C-alpha cells in the first residue's frame, strides 16, 4: 500500500511538471511569441509521466476504490488525463503541423490580396459588405478544405481509434461517459429538446435581426454573416477599447477581489502578428503563473471575451495550492467554463452595463435584446455541435458523409449556411462542447445564488469576491458541474433557467 501511495505521489509530481511545460508551449505558440509549437520534445522528455506504469497505478486506484470515494474520484481524473496524454503523444506530430500551418497560412483573395488565416475570422466579422465577407469566407473555406481539413480529419479519426484501443469502455462515447462523469447521449437528448422548444422563438427573431443588422433574409444568411451580425458595431461607442481593461479590472476590485490575483494573472490583450484570433487562458503554473490572451476584434465582443477569459484566469490563480495535482489541473472543465460564463454574462446585466460601460441609457434595452439574440444563437449552435459530434465519434456515419451531416445539422439549428470544409475543423476534441453546455447551465445557477446572497448587484459587493474565491475558485475542479450545482444552489443542471433568461432579454 505504501509503495502504491508513493507511486501515486510521484505520478502527480511528474504530471504537474509535464503539464506546465505543455501549457507554456501552447501559450508561446498560440500567443504569437514563437512561430510553431514544439510538442514532441516535451512528450519525449516527460514520457515517464504518462507511461505504462503511471496508467497501471491510476487504473488500480480507479478500479480498486469504492464509487463515490475520493480515491475513485482521483482515479477517474487521472485515468482520463493519462488517456488524453497518451493519445496526445501519438498525435503530437499532427498537432505541430496544424499549429505551424495556422501560423503561416494565408487566404488568397480574388483581388490579389492576402489575409493571414489566423486573422480571417476577425476580418470577416468586421466586413460590412455581404459580397465581400462571403468572398473572404469562401476563399478561407477553399484553403481549409485543401490543406487543413485533411489534417484535422486524420487527427480526429486517429484520436477515436486510439481511445477505443485503450478499452476503457466499449466505444469512444462510453469511454467519455465513464471518465468525464457526463452522459453525452443524455446531454444530446437535452440539446435536441432545447432546439425543438426554442425553434418558434428563433424563427420569430432571426428574420428581424438579419434585416436590421445586415439587410438580408434567412434564405441568404451564411456563417460569415453570423460572424458579422454578432459583431454589432453600432454599439462600439459604448465599449471603447482604451477603457476595457481598466473598467473590468475596476469591477473585480469593487467586488473585493484582486483583478490580477496579486500578480499571478498576466494580461496579454494587445494586437500581435501570429496571435490566434480565438482568445484563451494559459495556466502555466497553477496557481502562480496564469496568462490571459486576447487578440482584439473590436467593440462588445472584446469586453465579453475579456470577462470570459478573466473568469478562467482568476479561477486558476486562486486555486488552493495545497490541493492535489488532479484537483488543480484536471477534472470537469465545465467548472472553469462556468466561472468564465458567470463573468461574461455580466454583459447581459443592465446594472453592470450602466456602471462600467459607456452605453447610452437609451441604447441599453436594444443592446440587451441583441444580447438575448446572440445568446440564443450560440446555444443553438453548440447544441447542434454536440449532436453532430456524437455522430462523428459514434462511428455510425462514414467520414466521407460527415461534411454533409455537419452542414445539415448546424445550418438547420442556426439558419446560417455552414461550409462543408469546416466539418472537421469546427470540432473541439474530447467533446469539449459538452463542457461548454454544462457550463452554460451551471453559470445560471451560480448567478442565482449570488443574487440571493449579495443582491442583484453582487458584482460590486465587496463581500462577493471573497466568497467566490473561497467557495468556488479555491476548490479547483474537484467537483463535477452537477455536484457543484447541488452544493451551491441546491438545484440540478438544465436548460430551463437559460430559456427563461433569454425570453426576458428578448421581450
Do 471 and 371 lie in one domain? The reply is yes
pLDDT of residue 112: 85
Is 397 contained in some domain?
Answer: yes
Do 226 and 348 lie in one domain? The reply is yes
Is 19 contained in some domain?
Answer: yes
Rounded to 10 deg, the angle between the 70-104 and 117-126 helix axes is 90
Is 121 contained in some domain?
Answer: no
How many whole angstroms separate alpha carbon 474 and alpha carbon 462?
18
pLDDT of residue 4: 63
Do 82 and 188 lie in one domain? The reply is no
pLDDT tens, the chain, 507 aa long = 455 667 899 999 999 999 999 999 999 999 999 988 999 999 999 999 999 999 999 999 999 999 999 999 999 999 999 999 999 999 999 999 999 999 899 999 988 889 999 899 989 999 999 999 999 999 999 999 999 999 999 999 999 999 999 888 999 999 999 999 999 999 999 999 999 999 999 999 999 999 999 999 999 999 999 999 998 889 999 999 999 999 999 999 999 999 999 999 999 999 999 899 899 999 999 999 999 999 998 899 999 999 999 999 999 999 999 999 999 999 999 999 999 999 999 999 999 999 999 999 999 999 999 999 999 999 999 999 999 999 999 999 999 999 999 999 999 999 999 999 999 999 988 999 999 999 999 999 999 999 999 999 999 999 999 999 999 999 999 999 999 999 999 999 999 999 999 999 998
How many whole angstroms separate alpha carbon 378 and alpha carbon 381?
5
Largest CA distance in the chain: 70
pLDDT of residue 429: 86
Do 228 and 89 lie in one domain? The reply is no
Q: Could you write out the three-class secondary structure of 390-421?
A: HHHHHCCCCHHHHHHHHHHHHHHHHCCECCHH
* CB within 8 Å of 120: residues ≥ 6 apart: 107, 136, 137, 140, 277
Q: Which residue has cell 453600432?
A: 234
Do 448 and 334 lie in one domain? The reply is yes
Do 225 and 350 lie in one domain? The reply is yes
Backbone φ/ψ region at 66: left (φ over 0), alpha (ψ -120 to 50), beta:
beta
The domain boundary residue, chosen from 64, 88, 103 = 103
Q: What predicted TM-score, i.e. pTM, was given to this entire model?
A: 0.93
Do 365 and 469 lie in one domain? The reply is yes
Do 213 and 340 lie in one domain? The reply is yes
Q: In terms of residue numbers, what domain contains 461?
A: 184-258+325-506
pLDDT of residue 319: 98
Residues, the chain: 507
pLDDT of residue 5: 64
Do 358 and 481 lie in one domain? The reply is yes
Is 438 contained in some domain?
Answer: yes
pLDDT of residue 3: 58
Is 250 contained in some domain?
Answer: yes
Do 344 and 487 lie in one domain? The reply is yes
The domain boundary residue, chosen from 74, 103, 132 = 103
Is 274 contained in some domain?
Answer: no
Cell digits of residue 232? 454589432
Is 120 contained in some domain?
Answer: no
Is 308 contained in some domain?
Answer: no
Do 352 and 482 lie in one domain? The reply is yes
The domain boundary residue, chosen from 103, 131, 156 = 103
Domains in the chain, number: 2
Do 340 and 455 lie in one domain? The reply is yes
pLDDT of residue 358: 97
Amino acid at each position: 500500500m505504501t509503495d502504491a501511495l508513493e507511486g501515486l505521489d510521484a505520478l502527480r509530481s511528474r504530471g504537474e511538471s509535464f503539464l506546465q511545460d505543455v501549457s507554456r508551449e501552447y501559450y508561446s505558440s498560440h500567443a504569437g511569441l514563437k512561430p510553431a509549437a514544439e510538442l514532441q520534445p516535451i512528450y519525449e522528455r516527460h514520457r515517464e509521466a504518462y507511461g505504462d506504469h503511471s496508467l497501471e497505478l491510476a487504473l488500480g486506484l480507479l478500479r480498486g476504490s469504492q464509487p463515490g470515494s475520493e480515491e475513485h474520484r482521483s482515479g477517474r481524473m487521472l485515468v482520463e488525463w493519462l488517456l488524453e496524454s497518451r493519445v496526445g503523444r501519438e498525435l503530437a506530430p499532427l498537432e505541430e503541423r496544424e499549429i505551424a500551418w495556422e501560423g503561416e497560412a494565408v487566404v488568397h483573395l480574388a483581388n490579389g490580396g492576402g489575409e493571414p488565416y489566423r486573422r480571417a475570422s476577425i476580418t470577416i466579422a468586421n466586413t460590412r459588405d455581404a459580397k465581400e465577407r462571403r468572398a473572404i469566407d469562401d476563399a478561407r473555406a477553399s484553403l481549409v478544405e485543401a490543406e487543413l481539413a485533411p489534417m484535422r480529419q486524420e487527427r480526429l479519426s486517429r484520436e477515436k481509434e486510439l481511445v477505443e484501443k485503450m478499452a476503457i469502455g466499449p466505444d469512444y462515447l462510453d469511454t467519455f461517459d465513464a471518465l468525464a462523469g457526463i452522459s453525452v447521449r443524455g446531454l444530446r437528448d437535452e440539446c435536441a429538446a432545447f432546439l425543438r422548444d426554442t425553434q418558434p422563438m428563433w424563427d420569430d427573431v432571426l428574420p428581424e435581426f438579419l434585416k436590421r443588422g445586415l439587410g438580408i433574409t434567412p434564405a441568404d444568411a451564411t456563417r460569415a454573416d453570423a460572424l458579422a451580425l454578432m459583431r454589432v458595431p453600432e454599439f462600439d461607442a459604448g465599449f471603447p477599447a482604451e477603457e476595457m481593461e481598466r473598467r473590468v479590472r475596476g469591477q473585480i476590485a469593487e467586488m473585493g477581489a484582486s483583478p490580477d490575483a496579486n500578480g499571478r494573472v498576466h494580461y496579454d490583450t494587445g494586437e500581435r502578428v501570429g496571435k490566434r484570433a480565438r482568445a484563451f487562458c494559459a495556466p502555466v503554473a497553477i496557481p502562480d503563473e496564469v496568462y490571459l490572451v486576447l487578440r482584439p476584434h473590436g467593440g462588445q465582443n472584446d469586453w465579453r471575451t475579456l470577462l470570459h477569459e478573466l473568469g478562467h484566469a482568476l479561477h486558476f490563480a486562486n486555486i488552493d495550492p495545497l490541493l492535489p495535482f488532479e484537483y488543480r489541473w484536471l477534472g470537469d472543465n465545465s467548472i472553469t467554463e462556468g466561472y468564465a460564463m458567470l463573468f461574461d454574462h455580466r454583459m447581459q446585466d443592465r446594472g453592470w452595463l450602466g456602471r462600467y460601460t459607456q452605453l447610452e441609457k437609451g441604447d441599453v434595452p436594444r443592446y440587451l435584446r441583441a444580447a438575448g439574440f446572440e445568446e440564443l444563437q450560440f446555444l443553438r449552435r453548440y447544441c447542434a455541435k454536440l449532436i453532430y459530434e456524437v455522430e462523428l465519434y459514434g462511428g455510425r456515419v462514414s467520414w466521407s458523409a460527415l461534411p454533409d451531416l455537419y452542414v445539415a445539422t448546424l445550418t438547420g439549428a442556426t439558419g446560417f449556411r455552414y461550409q462543408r470544409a469546416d466539418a472537421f475543423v469546427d470540432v473541439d476534441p474530447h467533446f469539449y462542447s459538452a463542457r461548454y453546455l454544462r457550463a452554460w447551465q451551471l453559470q445560471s445557477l451560480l448567478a442565482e445564488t449570488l443574487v440571493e446572497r449579495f443582491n442583484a448587484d453582487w458584482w460590486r459587493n465587496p463581500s462577493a469576491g471573497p466568497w467566490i474565491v473561497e467557495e468556488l475558485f479555491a476548490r479547483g475542479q474537484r467537483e463535477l458541474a452537477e455536484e457543484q450545482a447541488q452544493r451551491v444552489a441546491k438545484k440540478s443542471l438544465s436548460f430551463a433557467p437559460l430559456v427563461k433568461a433569454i425570453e426576458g432579454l428578448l421581450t
